[in-house]
Amino acid sequence: MDLVESSIDDDVYTGIWINRSLGNVYGATLTLDQRSGAFLIAFLALYVGTTSRYFWKLLRYLIYHSLSSPLGADGIYHQRQAILRNTELAHDAALELLSVAFAWRRKSNGNWKRTMPIALLAAIVSALFIVAGIFSSRVTDTVNEVLLKGKLCGNMTGQEAGGNQSYFGIYAPNVTTYRTKRATEYLTYALRCYGHAKTLRSDKCQTFAVSSLPYTKDASARCPFNQGSCVFETDNIALDTGYLDSYKHFGVNNGPRVSVRLRRQCAPIVQKNNRLRNALQNPFLNYVQNNRSTQEGAPLSISQRRPKDRNSSWSWDTADYQLLTANFSPASGCNLDSCRNSGLYRNDSLVSVIHLGSTDIINVYKTEDPWFNASTPVAVPWDSQMELGFKEYYVASEPARVLGCATQISYCDPELPKTIGCREAFVDEAAEKGSKELWPDPQARAKVRGLQYALSSFRTFAPGDYYSSKSIPSLLTRFSMTSDGLQPVAIPKDRWKEEVEYIFQTNLAAMQSRMVEHARAEFNVLHESSGKTLECYRMCYSQRIKSSRFYSFKILGLSVIIFAGGFIMLLGAWVEDILSKISSSKRKLSYGNLEWSATSTLQLQRLAHEALGLGTWSHGTGDVPVTEKDETLGLLDTSNPKHPRFVRPGTGKEISMAQFDLYGSERTFTSTTGEGNAQKDLVKFDKGPHTGAFS
């Protein structure tokens, strides 16, 4: 026996795998732990940021060449070209171009027209790559689909375990504990994840492949049984999931693709039904279904709390709703003649009969619901009226009321028409023959049986089984009841429909959970000890869940980012060399390429100094121009702080400059350079704390 108690995170596979629900291309996935995933997300953001610089370089290079002209040009032209050549970030270029347009607003016509389109384009490029940087992390989601490695994989066929020892003596206590624990979890998940709008659902709903399975509801359905068996002929409830995909909805990631459909129809049942009594052979049901005595003190299987003497004192005894259930189907082994004569027998369904006893419950309000009916008024003794706060209460008119439900479960091959591609779980007497027709390959059929076992074990589909377990929240109406049996809330007349839907939602939650439990081989003894000879296969690396403790990246998205970004970076890095190869044959390209080289930041410095006749320069079209050794270049004349300029050194001219120390005090100093000694003069500072005078 294997009862898994380890964390589910221990079973998560990290590496590359295929999400079959999305296909081989889009479903290719890389799963990493949180540390590695966070590193990859940070890398992608930096990678996109770097790509944006190269994309802007490529774009501004093309714009620069398209605007390059050997004809006469004004200040806007040269400043625009300088910005395009030297501003590496698109948003900086947009701001600088706007500054150019604003500065020339009174001195040039068309200044906005010549700069705004490029500024707008730069702003768009900047915005797009900011968004791309943000959404680069969207190759993974906050809650990521991951793949479980699985346990005890392979053929599950086994003989009865334990030898001569009693199965129930060894395993039944564990089975009961496990089933009760799991049933509580299923009911809780149904309340949390099916009972609210998606926006209000808990983060704990992000566990299975989908948070909740879809279904439709018909609250005005016809009676699912023989005419005259139901209290209402048309005011009943029908629930239908439609065809659920094993890959998409249940997270299966391997083996044959299977469609599963769960349907249920329920209705309140007419009480006086002698035929049903004979079919179920239950003493309690015998009492309920027969014409019973209404005399005071008649023996009841469900005790009544109603005082025999209405004037007697009130007694606060423990009370609760009491539920008894019975199931039968064509394959259940019940007496078929009795079942068929009950009026509730169906040859295509599992029929569940659920009896609710509520004679012990004190209802403050009259209840007209056919299952929770409490319409008989009882006066509260005068000495208890002050304490209770009401003078009259209502009790059940009958010891018990009955619901009947017909449940159908279909397994289908989605590649075949539904008319021939499905088999009913509770119907086919030759079930194995039906499976062979749908899945002729023995290995595929064994894998389908594994899925069927996962979904049907612990009677996942039977609604009554949740009512037969004690101390679990199987009734919504119990939530408003006090511990002493007082029901202070008005029960709506269709509460029974809400209860049926709640258990249906629980069945769906159980189906979702059972797939994960099966993949992890929880309580594996149940099938191995069953003595079945049919092959049943458990697949490893075949179950998807969601986990916020891991990052799953779409490899397609990663590939697009990496390869597209790499291509842009390579193209941006080599665009100058590529166009220089073809510029020799095209004059405009040749001039534009030369202008591009000459207007880089360092080349503009070279041009400024050469205009003063300073320096013997080389690498005039390279990235870094250089002078001969020990050559001195121009000095910055700041005699007019609003219009600084370069001047030649060594002319004998005194250059006045203003210098500010760290405390904001102004100091004036001079530098006189003798003729012929321009390249040997040194700048010396006085011993002031922050600045001094040239000498």
Q: Does residue 657 carry a pLDDT above 50?
A: no
Residues 582-594: tens digit of each pLDDT: 766 555 567 888 8
Q: Does residue 328 carry a pLDDT above 90?
A: no
CA of 237: how far to CAs of 224, 232, 465, in Å? 9, 10, 19
Select, from the ranges 43-52, 432-441, 465-474, the one with the highest average predicted confidence (pLDDT): 43-52
* Nearest CA-CA partner of 487 in 371, 369, 386, 367: 367
Find the helix or strand (DSSP H, E) in which 570 lies. Answer: helix 555-583
**What was the pLDDT predicted at 337?**
53
What lies within 8 Å, CB to CB, of 456 at 6+ separation is 409, 425
For the segment 243-263, the average pLDDT, to the nearest whole number, is 93
Q: Does residue 493 carry a pLDDT above 90?
A: yes
77 half-sphere exposure, CB direction, 13 A CA radius: 11
**What was the pLDDT predicted at 507?**
94
* Rounded CA Rg of the chain: 42
For the segment 385-412, the average pLDDT, to the nearest whole number, is 84
For the segment 495-505, the average pLDDT, to the nearest whole number, is 95
Question: What are residue 324's DSSP bridge partners?
Answer: 355
Using pLDDT thresholds of 50, 70 and 90, give the confidence band for residue 82: very high
CA of 114: how far to CAs of 100, 107, 117, 613, in Å? 10, 14, 7, 34
Q: Does residue 410 carry a pLDDT above 70?
A: yes
Phi/psi of residue 248, nearest 5 degrees: -75, -45
Using pLDDT thresholds of 50, 70 and 90, give the confidence band for residue 652: very low
Q: Does residue 17 carry a pLDDT above 90?
A: yes
**What was the pLDDT predicted at 250?**
94
Using pLDDT thresholds of 50, 70 and 90, give the confidence band for residue 223: very high
* Nearest CA-CA partner of 213 in 547, 544, 503, 505: 505
Residues 187-198: tens digit of each pLDDT: 999 999 997 666
Residues 340-376: tens digit of each pLDDT: 666 788 888 888 889 898 888 888 899 999 999 999 9
Q: Residue 444 in contact with residue 438, Cβ under 8 Å? A: no
Q: Residue 477 in contact with residue 499, Cβ under 8 Å? A: yes
Two tokens, residue 212: 């909740």
**What was the pLDDT predicted at 459?**
66
Q: Name the more confident of 494 and 108.
A: 494
**What was the pLDDT predicted at 384?**
66
For the segment 518-542, the average pLDDT, to the nearest whole number, is 64
What lies within 8 Å, CB to CB, of 384 at 6+ separation is 313, 314
Q: Residue 18 in contact with residue 29, Cβ under 8 Å? A: yes
Q: Does residue 433 carry a pLDDT above 70?
A: no
What lies within 8 Å, CB to CB, of 630 at 6+ separation is 679
- Amino acid present at 648: R
**What was the pLDDT predicted at 157?**
55
Angle at 387 between CA 381 and CA 389, to 5 degrees: 85
Using pLDDT thresholds of 50, 70 and 90, give the confidence band for residue 238: very high
Using pLDDT thresholds of 50, 70 and 90, give the confidence band for residue 503: very high
C-alpha span between 634 and 671 (Å, rounded): 13
Share of the chain above pLDDT 90, in %: 32
C-alpha span between 595 and 67 (Å, rounded): 11
Q: Does residue 110 carry a pLDDT above 90?
A: no
H helices within 489-554, ranges in order?
495-519, 525-528
Residues 37-71: tens digit of each pLDDT: 999 999 999 999 999 999 999 999 999 988 888 88
Q: Does residue 251 carry a pLDDT above 80?
A: yes
For the segment 152-178, the average pLDDT, to the nearest whole number, is 56
**What was the pLDDT predicted at 303?**
35
Q: Name the more confident of 211 and 665.
A: 211
**What was the pLDDT predicted at 539?**
80
**What was the pLDDT predicted at 445?**
84
**What was the pLDDT predicted at 662?**
39
For the segment 145-151, the average pLDDT, to the nearest whole number, is 88
Q: Name the more confident of 521 and 14.
A: 14
C-beta neighbour count of 602 within 10 angstroms: 13
Q: Name the more confident of 668 and 473.
A: 473
Q: For helices 587-598 and 555-583, give the axis angle rounded to 10 degrees.
A: 110
Residues 558-578: tens digit of each pLDDT: 999 999 999 999 998 888 888
Two tokens, residue 210: 């989908």
Using pLDDT thresholds of 50, 70 and 90, give the confidence band for residue 313: very low
Q: Does residue 154 carry a pLDDT above 90?
A: no
Using pLDDT thresholds of 50, 70 and 90, give the confidence band for residue 681: very low
Q: Residue 120 in contact with residue 542, Cβ under 8 Å? A: no
Share of the chain above pLDDT 70, in %: 74
Q: Name the more confident of 695 and 374.
A: 374
Q: Does residue 516 carry a pLDDT above 50?
A: yes
For the segment 629-651, the average pLDDT, to the nearest whole number, is 83
Q: What is the mean pLDDT of the chain?
A: 78
Q: Does residue 9 carry a pLDDT above 90?
A: no
C-alpha span between 499 and 164 (Å, rounded): 43
Q: Name the more confident of 411 and 674.
A: 411
- Any idea what DSSP says for residue 367? B
Select, from the ranges 242-251, 335-344, 415-424, the one with the highest average predicted confidence (pLDDT): 242-251
